[in-house]
Structure formats: structure tokens, C-alpha cells
Amino acid sequence: METKILKMDTAADEKLSVAAQAIKNGDLVAFPTETVYGLGANGLDEKAAAKIYAAKGRPSDNPLILHIDSIKMLAMITDKVPHMAMEIMAAFCPGPITMIVPRKIAVPDRITGGLSTVGVRMPDNDIARKLITLSGVPIAAPSANLSGRPSPTTAATVYDDLNGRIPYILDGGPSDFGVESTIVDCTESIPVILRPGAITKEMLEEIFPEVRVDPALSGKNSVPKAPGMKYRHYAPKAPMILLKGRKENMLAAFTKELSKCKKAGQSVGIIASHEVTNLLRHSYSYDYGSQNDLFHIAADLYNALRYFDDKPVDILLAEGTTEKGIGLAIMNRLKKASGQNILSV
């Protein structure tokens, strides 16, 4: 099966109808959102959801998020919308945030990983919402990549991973934010961030007196309530070391580690800020942007993690960021991409 890329610059309505019919037929469609590209299926069809896991090679206990086009569609997913979730939706939806709510029995176990809750979000992308509307059902969609690989922010990257595994990709151009949605557990008395994203802890604290971060984000063992909490994710093909610490220490730390790797006969790829790459001038480098613009770094992060996949490098050295604001999401992805191989500098 050759995967078809449907560019949304012309005849968009016709192409959306083709994609929506595929969803209705129980097939898979990759589509753009404001975060990353999603791999969609009918979220109320267990067999369709199973195709997502097969196409990605995704572990069966890793839950999926349901995407909706309106608050009205929540009634298909849950009988009880927590007040906390309604406050979040009023403040941030449509937008890059997912709420964990009690599930209806109509939501298959395959979607929830057997949990009594389900993640739901309303994407801030016209193509995504129109696809959901035309399909008439919530669309289950993890990121549209092979499991464990960096998430895709363009249709071309989806094609690289999933060509021959899915029938259609809707090409809506590059994603805006470049990291997956913030996930908030709304079933507790206090909102708990299960996965950081573009809606930051600081932004949530503007509407809630207290916001917690799940202990699993710091590496502690817990039952995964949301995608990305249990397994290694976002990994480049080469092993990676994450350098974490003060900005002013980074150049010296990279110089030292680069020298050490060269003495060991290793070819090194560098993923770092403009501030470091501009001074280091290493031949295999990816400049992911300035440390003064974390949203730019987030948007380019997965491109950086994929950049060296076809380059002759043995090991990657990556620069971390602050963990304030969206930096928490960036560091969450970098830690997982490195397999927690972290060097404090």
C-alpha cells in the first residue's frame, strides 16, 4: 500500500471528505494539529483503534487521546465533565491541552489502556476540527510516527515513518508548537500535569490556586494515566547524552565532552542553541534556536532529534534548557529522548 499525501492547498473540502470517509470505514488518517501530526481513527471503534497500535508498533497499555470538534461532542465520551475541565476548556480551548476525565462505557478499553478515565482535547487547527466534524465521531490520535521515535511536525516526516502503513496523510503544513499537548488530570481535587506542553504550569496557575506536577515526570514509578508517561519516546537513532545545567557552563562542557568522544574515536553530532553552536563551530551541528526563545526551540525540537538519523555520527550531545514555562516540556522530551542519560554541568 502506497500512502497518499493529500495537500490541503487545493480542493481541501473534497480531500477532507475522502479522509472523513476513511475514518468512517475504520481506516487510519494522519492529520495536522497545532502541536504535532496525529494518527487518527474512529475513537469509538475498537478495531479501528487497534490499527493505530499496529501501524505505530505502540504498546497496548499506552492510552490514546480523543480529539473533539466542540464541547457538545464531550457527551459521546463522558457522562460527567469535571468542573475543573470546563474551566480549562473555557480558558484554553481550542488549544494544545488535554483533559483527563471519567470515560463512558462506549469508549473502548483499547483507547484507555483499560483505565476508567480518558484524555480528551479540542485541537486549535481548522483541518483537524473539520475532519472530526465530517467524521461525526471523536478521533483517537497519538502522534503519527513509529513508536519511540521523535514526533512528526510535517507531513513529509509522517511519510518517512508510516509510508505503506496507512492510506492517507493530510498535509496542512508545519505544526505551530512542535511538542504534544499539555495533559492535565481533572479527576483529582487539584489539577495534576501528567505531560507538560505549550500550556504551561504557570499559565494554569493563573486560573487555579494550586497546580501539581505528576511525580512520574521526575522519573518516579507510577501507573501511566496518559500517553508518554511509561515508555521511552522521541529517540533519535544514535544514542544521546543530555547536558543539563547553567547556560554559562554549556560551551566549556560541550568542548570537554566533544574532546572526550573524539579521543574514543566517536563521530559526534551536536544539538544545541545558537549561543553554543555559533562558538563551538563543530562540523556536525544542529542549531535549534536561541535560549531566549524557548517556543522556537520547542517548535524545532523534533526536527533536531531527527536531523542526524542519516548522518555518520556515533553519538549525540544535546543542550538542555531551563525547566520554567515551556522549558519543562522541552526538557521532558529531551530526557526521554536520551533515555535519562543526563550529564549535569
The C-alpha cell of 35 is what? 502541536
61 contacts 110 by C-beta, under 8 angstroms = no
Q: How far apart are CA 322 and CA 333, in angstroms?
A: 13
- The alpha helices in 103-195, defined as continuous H runs, are 109-112, 126-135, 155-162
Element (H, E) at 19: helix 12-24
Q: Give one DSSP letter per residue of 236-257, joined into a string.
A: -SS-EEEEES-GGGHHHHHHHH
Q: How far apart are CA 181 and CA 94, in angstroms?
A: 11
Task: Please report, as a single letter, which amino acid is at residue 87.
Answer: E
Q: Which residues, 6+ apart, have CB-to-CB distance to 170 below 8 Å?
A: 6, 8, 15, 16, 19, 29, 30, 31, 32, 127, 131, 155
- Crossing angle of helices 294-307 and 327-337, in 10° steps, is 20
Task: Please report, as a single letter, which amino acid is at residue 39.
Answer: L
pLDDT per position in the chain (345 positions), as tens?
899 999 999 999 999 999 999 999 999 999 999 999 999 999 999 999 999 999 999 887 789 999 999 999 999 999 999 999 999 999 999 999 999 999 999 999 999 999 999 999 999 999 999 999 999 999 999 999 999 999 999 999 999 999 999 999 999 999 999 999 999 999 999 999 999 999 999 999 999 999 999 988 866 555 555 555 555 679 999 999 999 999 999 999 999 999 999 999 999 999 999 999 999 999 999 999 999 999 999 999 999 999 999 999 999 999 999 999 999 999 999 999 999 999 999
